[in-house]
Amino acid sequence: MAGFIPTHRQQQFLRASSEFFNWWLAELVQLLPQKWRTGLLGQQALCRLSLERDRLQLVLQTQGRETVLGSCYLSPLPGLLEDFSAPGDDAAVSTKQELLNNIAALDSQSRGRVVLELADDYLLVRDITLPLVSDGDIASVLAHEIDRLSPFEKDKVCYGYELLQKNQQTGKLRLRLICLERAVLESLLAQCGELGLGVVQVQGKTDSSGGETFCETLNLLPADQRPAKEKLWNGANQALAGLALVLLLAVLMLPLWHYENQIDHLSEEVDALLEQSKVVRAKQTRLVGALDIRDALVERKNKELEKIIILHNLAQVIPDNTWLTRVTIRNSALEIEGESAKSSDLIEKLESQAAFYQVEFASSVTRNTRTAKERFQIKMRLSDKPEALPNNNASALAPNAEQQVMLGASVDE
């Protein structure tokens, strides 16, 4: 796939990825306690070189412990009015030689990580007030205002600052501006180079027990002379990340390979059972058909039970002087024919039952001269939910219905 991506795009992507991982790892490390960061990154030794009254004192700081390695006097610095007297030549040579021997005994990393701390006699320190700006814009504001804030020209001064107060109400910043003449700084760096020391930060003399050792804003060293920041995404970390990536891929791919083998094995078993499944499907089809037939029979049986309930309700309201010759049931319609001493009373009695409604005569009433009774034909509608029969009276339904309905009457559907 890399062949489809232009080379400059690949380089941009790799550069952006490297910067992102450097930032990400640095932020993660900052979340750890100081002791953990020391153990993880490996706390390097730090040399503090203090300058006071033209006397340099070198202190080695390792794991919170300080060891004085020696001291010596510097050559006169340009631009300084005050002259500090140095001891005799023999004593100066002896102390400088002792310091050089101790420096030679140090490892290269310790010699290359030196913080030069200057006394206030070499610095111009003043408190200033600026308009309120963001922390990232303070350096650019000082770069434009340094000619006005210091007696030096812009290209002949090195400066740093310390944020003292940020007042949101008044919109002002109070800073402590620290300036050093560039000629003095270059002379100091040259003499430190003669001693074999690499200065990575120049700042005012502070208490070594508190505060942060490396502070960007307090560093008087010009930006072009500062060492490059150590990247967490170095070769060792890249190798560890590559190994972790390989292990992660192995962890992800191994289950996939195992599942692939299982799928092949199961596919073979499925193919072997395919013929047997066809037989099972045929039996299942026949079983479903049988169940459908059973459900139809059960439904028909349930409907027949409703007719018995209807006959039971009729038997409850038909008086003894009434005989039924025909009962016709079609869906939700019921029609009865028979003879009664007084057929008009049947309408009221049938409507009293919840199972019947819309009760009316289907034809005119006639009189049977032989029996002296009225012949009637009544139609009605059946309720959707007829009253069910009690279980203990189900066995007595047939004889009661036969007593109320005339023997020989037919029930039509």
pLDDT digits (tens, 9 = 90+) for 75-111: 777 766 555 545 555 666 677 888 888 888 887 777 8
| pTM of full prediction above 0.75 | no
Average pLDDT (59-70) is 79
Provide the residue ranges of all domains of the chain, joining segments of one domain with +.
Answer: 30-78+86-229, 307-412
User: Which of 175, 171, 169, 117 lies closest to 142, judged by CA?
Assistant: 175
pLDDT at 403 over 60: no
The dihedral sign for the CA sequence 348, 349, 354, 356: negative
Q: How confident is the model at residue 386 (pLDDT cuts 50, 70, 90)?
A: low
The string of DSSP codes covering 50-79 is: EEETTEEEEEEEETTEEEEEEEEEPPPPTT
Overall residue count recorded for the chain in this entry: 413
Q: How confident is the model at residue 377 (pLDDT cuts 50, 70, 90)?
A: very high
Q: Which CATH class is domain 30-78+86-229?
A: alpha beta
Query: What's residue 398's pLDDT?
Result: 42
Average pLDDT (288-309) is 80
CA distances from 181 to 165, 227, 307 (A): 26, 21, 119
Q: Domain 307-412 classified CATH 3.30.70? A: yes
Q: Are strands 65-73 and 333-340 parallel, antiparallel or unpaired?
A: unpaired
Average pLDDT (256-266) is 88
pLDDT at 288 over 90: yes
Q: How confident is the model at residue 404 (pLDDT cuts 50, 70, 90)?
A: very low
pLDDT at 66 over 60: yes
Q: How confident is the model at residue 293 (pLDDT cuts 50, 70, 90)?
A: very high
Query: 176 and 90 in contact (C-beta within 8 Å)?
Result: no
Cα–Cα distance, 317 to 211 (Å, whole number): 108
pLDDT at 393 over 90: no
